[in-house]
């Protein structure tokens, strides 16, 4: 069983850490946890942590003198004053047990992040079931490019930040607000961005109504003096915000009354150009370098958030046009057999379908996807949607489900998905086999997307890329 979020709040955490000189991060290798470890190190704490395996993120921590232990044990935890943990750990994690047994402060990742951000005047939280990392990265690109010097904490690495975070000196703090287990209710946004609402995380949320209530509570944290930047084309978002008392900045494509609207949309090989209309007047023109219709919404949301930071139209357009994508968000990896190969984090049917529609626009030949489902609960609950979301592909290769925090008790499998999708689909028992199957399919002009939120990126280790 996972450990729940703490809900101490920033004032109580400040008291808990008053005499603290060292912090241990349980699950330090996660994208957000590693960023928080770097930030804590910057603030003068002695930082250490543990995780299951070595990754590029843990190697970066070690290079800065942060001690990383591989595997979890009580010995790792000795000598630290406080502990920050990810809710993905179990209650019997030996470091967590040690901290509790010795009466040492244990703070969940979300609660600690909520505390960290309170020193910033303008706190922009990017929430939504899909697109959080991309929109956060777009905001970061705009603010960095125009010299705003923001602090950013994202769920994806961005070349402009040389990682998933950056620490600036301005009043602007941009962060990804994750809804899983209501983590975002521990954050303190002054600008609450909501990109979309849909059923997901069915191991925690019972239905869409619970999700809408959570997003409503998240927006309400901004308060009467805060802002909601929200998708006017999403009926569930509209309903969640029906009682919001702060100022509203809507964005959309379909709703003519949206404060920010995309018009004159054109598409060229999966990439979109459009005009942003702000309060019924031309604001700027944008030529996106990232593929996919869904990125128009992400760009509008980023524009709305940056407007509230006082950024002008010219700088917003420049930042959006300079944005080439975040890591593992349709990230170009190279050429295999004359085909373009991309890496993507998509793991929900809606984002899979949106990403693949964008990828189809890039392809002159076939569109092929290697997909790793993420968690048994999501796969079982949304299986009919998963079967349909690959319709645009010429070929789909499924690899085994990434279990994450779960055990296989629901009777779903990647082999079953492949069978249900039909003749266009195949099942690979290993990443090496998936790579072999993919290479056997690829021809000049094809596009391949290796997709999933687990470790499916390991397929790239077995592909033979052309020198470019």
Nearest CA-CA partner of 382 in 351, 428, 404, 424 = 351
Q: What pLDDT shows up at residue 405?
A: 79
Q: Domain residue spans in the chain? A: 10-109, 120-322, 331-462
Residue 311 pLDDT grade (very low, low, confident, very high; cuts 50, 70, 90): very high
Q: Check if the beta carbon of residue 285 is closer than 8 Å to that of residue 275.
A: yes
Q: What pLDDT shows up at residue 404?
A: 86
Q: Which of 86-90, 101-105, 170-174 has the lowest mean pLDDT?
A: 86-90
Residue 88 pLDDT grade (very low, low, confident, very high; cuts 50, 70, 90): confident
Average confidence (pLDDT) over 347-356: 96
Q: Check if the beta carbon of residue 95 is closer than 8 Å to that of residue 83.
A: yes
Q: Which CATH code is given to the segment(s) 120-322?
A: 3.40.1190.10
Average confidence (pLDDT) over 429-442: 98
Q: Check if the beta carbon of residue 186 is closer than 8 Å to that of residue 116.
A: no
- Asked if pLDDT for residue 2 goes beyond 80, the answer is no
Q: How far, in whole angstroms, is CA 16 from its chain's centroid? A: 29
Residue 345 pLDDT grade (very low, low, confident, very high; cuts 50, 70, 90): very high
Q: Check if the beta carbon of residue 275 is closer than 8 Å to that of residue 284.
A: yes
Average confidence (pLDDT) over 254-282: 96
Q: What pLDDT shows up at residue 1?
A: 53
Asked whether the domain spanning 331-462 has the same topology as the one spanning 120-322, the reply is: no
Determine the Cα–Cα distance for residues 458 and 452; give it in Å rounded to an integer: 11
Q: What pLDDT shows up at residue 400?
A: 98
Residues of the chain above pLDDT 90, percent = 93
Q: Check if the beta carbon of residue 456 is closer than 8 Å to that of residue 352.
A: no
Is the backbone of residue 149 left (phi > 0), alpha (psi -120 to 50) or beta? left
Q: In this predicted model, what pLDDT tens digit does every residue of 205-236 receive, in sequence order?
A: 999 999 999 999 999 999 999 999 999 999 99
Residue 203 pLDDT grade (very low, low, confident, very high; cuts 50, 70, 90): confident
Q: In this predicted model, what pLDDT tens digit does every residue of 399-416 receive, in sequence order?
A: 999 998 788 999 999 999
Residue 305 pLDDT grade (very low, low, confident, very high; cuts 50, 70, 90): very high
- Asked if pLDDT for residue 338 goes beyond 60, the answer is yes
Q: Check if the beta carbon of residue 76 is closer than 8 Å to that of residue 89.
A: no
- Strand locations in 120-205 (E): 122-127, 151-158, 163-166, 172-176, 191-194
CA angle, 112 then 118 then 123, to 5°: 105
Tokens linked to 364:
């002159």
Q: In this predicted model, what pLDDT tens digit does every residue of 415-427 receive, in sequence order?
A: 999 999 999 999 9
- Asked if pLDDT for residue 468 goes beyond 80, the answer is no
- Asked if pLDDT for residue 276 goes beyond 70, the answer is yes
- 289, 295, 299, 304 alpha-carbon torsion, rounded to 10°: 180
Is the backbone of residue 44 left (phi > 0), alpha (psi -120 to 50) or beta? left
- Asked if pLDDT for residue 99 goes beyond 80, the answer is yes
- Strand locations in 279-366 (E): 281-291, 331-336, 339-344
Q: Which CATH code is given to the segment(s) 331-462?
A: 3.90.190.20
- Strand locations in 235-306 (E): 247-252, 260-268, 271-278, 281-291
Higher local confidence (pLDDT), 229 or 4: 229
Determine the Cα–Cα distance for residues 155 and 161; give it in Å rounded to an integer: 12
Determine the Cα–Cα distance for residues 439 and 336; give it in Å rounded to an integer: 7
Average confidence (pLDDT) over 449-468: 94
Return the H-helix or E-strand segment holding 213: helix 208-220
What fold, for 10-109?
Rossmann fold (3.40.50)
Higher local confidence (pLDDT), 31 or 226: 226
Determine the Cα–Cα distance for residues 248 and 241; give it in Å rounded to an integer: 9
């Amino acid at each position: 069983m996972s450990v729940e979020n703490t809900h101490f709040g920033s004032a109580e955490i400040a008291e808990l850490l008053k005499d603290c000189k060292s912090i241990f991060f349980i699950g330090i290798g996660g994208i957000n946890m590693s960023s928080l470890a770097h930030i804590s190190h910057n603030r003068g704490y002695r930082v250490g942590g543990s995780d299951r395996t070595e990754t590029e993120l843990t190697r970066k921590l070690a290079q800065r003198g942060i001690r990383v232990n591989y595997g979890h044990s009580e010995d790792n935890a000795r000598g630290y004053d406080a502990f920050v943990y990810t809710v993905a750990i179990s209650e019997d994690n030996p470091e967590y047990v040690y901290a509790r047994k010795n009466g040492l402060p244990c703070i969940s990742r979300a609660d600690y992040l909520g505390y960290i951000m309170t020193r910033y005047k303008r706190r922009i939280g990017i929430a939504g079931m899909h697109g959080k990392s991309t929109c956060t990265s777009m905001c970061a690109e705009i603010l960095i490019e125009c010299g705003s010097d923001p602090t950013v904490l994202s769920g994806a690495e961005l070349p402009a930040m040389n990682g998933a975070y950056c620490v600036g000196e301005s009043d602007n703090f941009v962060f990804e607000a994750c809804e899983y287990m209501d983590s975002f209710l521990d954050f303190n946004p002054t600008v609450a961005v909501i990109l979309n609402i849909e059923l997901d995380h069915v191991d925690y949320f019972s239905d869409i109504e619970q999700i809408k209530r959570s997003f409503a509570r998240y927006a309400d944290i901004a308060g009467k003096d805060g802002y909601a930047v929200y998708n006017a084309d999403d009926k569930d978002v509209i309903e969640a915000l029906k009682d919001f008392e702060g100022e509203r900045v809507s964005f959309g494509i379909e709703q003519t009354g949206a404060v920010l609207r995309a018009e004159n949309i054109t598409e060229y090989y999966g990439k979109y150009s459009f005009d942003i209309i702000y309060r019924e007047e031309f604001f700027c023109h944008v030529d996106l370098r990232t593929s996919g219709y869904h990125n128009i919404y992400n760009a509008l949301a980023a524009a709305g958030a940056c407007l509230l930071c006082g950024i002008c139209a010219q700088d917003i357009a420049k930042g959006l046009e300079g944005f080439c994508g975040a890591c593992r968000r349709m990230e170009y990896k190279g050429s295999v057999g004359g085909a373009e190969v991309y890496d993507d984090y998509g793991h929900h049917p809606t984002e899979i379908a949106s990403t693949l529609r964008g990828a189809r626009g890039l392809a002159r030949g076939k569109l092929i996807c290697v997909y790793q489902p993420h968690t048994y609960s999501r796969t079982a609950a949304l299986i009919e949607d998963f079967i349909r979301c690959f319709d645009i592909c010429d070929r789909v290769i499924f690899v085994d489900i990434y279990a994450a925090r779960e055990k296989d008790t629901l009777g779903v499998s990647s082999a079953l998905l492949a069978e249900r999708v039909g003749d266009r689909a195949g099942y690979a028992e290993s990443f090496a086999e998936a790579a072999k199957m993919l290479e056997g399919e690829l021809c000049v002009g094809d596009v391949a997307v290796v997709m999933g939120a687990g470790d499916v990126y390991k397929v790239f280790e077995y592909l033979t890329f052309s020198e470019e």
